[in-house]
Amino acid sequence: MRSALRTISGLILFALAVLLLERLLRIFEVVSASTKPAGDATQMVINLLPHYLGIAIPMALMLGTIITIDRMSRSSELTSAFGSGISLFHMTKPFILISIVLMGFNFLLEGYMQPIGRYGYREVVHSVGQKSFAAVLREGKFTKVGNTTFYVGSGGGPIFIYETLDNGGLRITTAKRGDLIVREETEQPVLQLSNGDSFQITSDKTIKGQLSFEISSVAGAISGSTFRARGNDERELTSTELFANRDGKTFVNVDANTNNAALHLRIARVYLLFLLPFIAVPFGINYGRNPSSAGIVVGIVSLVTLQKALEFGQKLGARGEIPPWMGIWPLMGVVTLSAIFIFRNSAVKMGQPPLATLSFFMADVLNDLRKGIRALIPFAAKTKNSGGAE
């Protein structure tokens, strides 16, 4: 158990570091216009941790179990244990206990921490966007804040402002020059434009309200609106809220199919952690003089494929093409039966590990193919010669 805990914990930290590195590039891009980039970036990373932990934990449990058992196999500890009458199930108990603990943690993670963290991340992104001109205007760059895009040339001009309106239209403002000033009475930044034009384009692509001006001012606060309430989609709802919204009437933004498909997926991901030791332990067993590390590769590919299949089933259920449960639980039933079959063959029957059996099967298939090709070559040559003689 100590060996497994060290390996699994190290893999979780490694996976978190790798996953966050990719997201940090986007976070730095978002907070580049913030007045407090370090604080906003820290909040965003903290809110993203539950999401990436949900990805890292199943992978770490799978790989940590395979690596630990493989290490024991290579050092002949597993063979000695079997020779002393210790069963494979007894050797699997520590991994089962770890998986049960992780199931409880993952239930809280998937059901409560992830939805709240996702909403917190979106709220920080929104608050970063609601900044004053003093924070967002950069010379020679297009900067988008909320529904408005700004461009300021070098030296304060020219100015280009593109704003989308609530009615589906847009407003375009251009000016030769813009100066950023601060009102003494309110300390509010104001962009003062000179020698410009402004007009609106309606949703039916007609121009109206064209106006030329010598001096005009644009208030510095883009929007003073607060962020919306949590619950805009199913990923922001906790498991308790999803359960209460099974009929789709509690949260009107989330229909019943989408709600129930998300709920089934969360339960299936928690249940999957219990099955992983029964699959990973046989994958890590190695006998013979030439041990193989194929279990790690097969484990990664199998787990990623299963996760994508579950997500695909959830999408089918959310669209109403199949019942929400049907996209999740038939697949989990197949995984359960496969885990029972693989573990039973390794723990009860005296035979080669499952991956060794698979390698023997593939070797037989390749040998049959080679024999078939060798048999076809003389036949093809004979046919060609007989055709030439005619």
The pLDDT profile of the chain, 390 residues, written as one tens digit per residue, is: 888 999 999 999 999 998 888 888 888 877 876 667 888 889 999 999 999 999 999 999 999 999 998 888 888 888 788 888 888 888 899 999 999 999 999 999 999 999 999 999 988 887 776 665 556 666 777 777 667 788 888 776 788 888 888 778 888 888 888 776 666 665 566 778 888 888 888 878 888 877 888 888 776 655 545 678 888 889 999 999 999 999 988 888 899 999 999 999 999 999 999 999 999 998 888 765 555 667 788 888 889 999 999 999 999 999 999 999 999 999 999 999 999 988 888 887 755 666 655 555 555 566 767 777 777 666 555 565 555 544
Query: Taken in order 238, 62, 72, 284, is the CA torsion positive or negative?
Result: positive
Query: Taken in order 61, 63, 64, 65, is the CA torsion positive or negative?
Result: positive
**What is the pTM for the complete model shown?**
0.73
Locate tokens 């699959």: which residue? Answer: 279
H/E segment holding residue 182: strand 170-182
Both structure tokens of 371: 């024999």
CA distances from 100 to 19, 119, 378, 381 (A): 25, 28, 60, 63
CA distances from 71 to 59, 210, 292, 325, 339 (A): 18, 75, 11, 39, 22
Instruction: State the Cα torsion 107-112-118-119 to the nearest 10°.
Output: 170
What is the reported pLDDT for 291? 57
How far apart are alpha carbons 63 and 295 in whole angstroms?
9
What is the reported pLDDT for 183? 63
What is the reported pLDDT for 36? 76
What is the radius of gyration, based on Cα positions, of the chain?
A: 31
How far apart are alpha carbons 161 and 171 in whole angstroms?
8
Q: Are 92 and 65 in contact (CB under 8 A)?
A: no
Both structure tokens of 114: 């992830």
What is the reported pLDDT for 137? 67
Query: Taken in order 290, 291, 296, 302, is the CA torsion positive or negative?
Result: positive
How far apart are alpha carbons 131 and 219 in whole angstroms?
12
What is the reported pLDDT for 389? 47
Amino acid in the structure at residue 303: L
Both structure tokens of 139: 């010379």
Locate tokens 């060798």: which residue? Answer: 374
How far apart are alpha carbons 256 and 290 in whole angstroms?
54
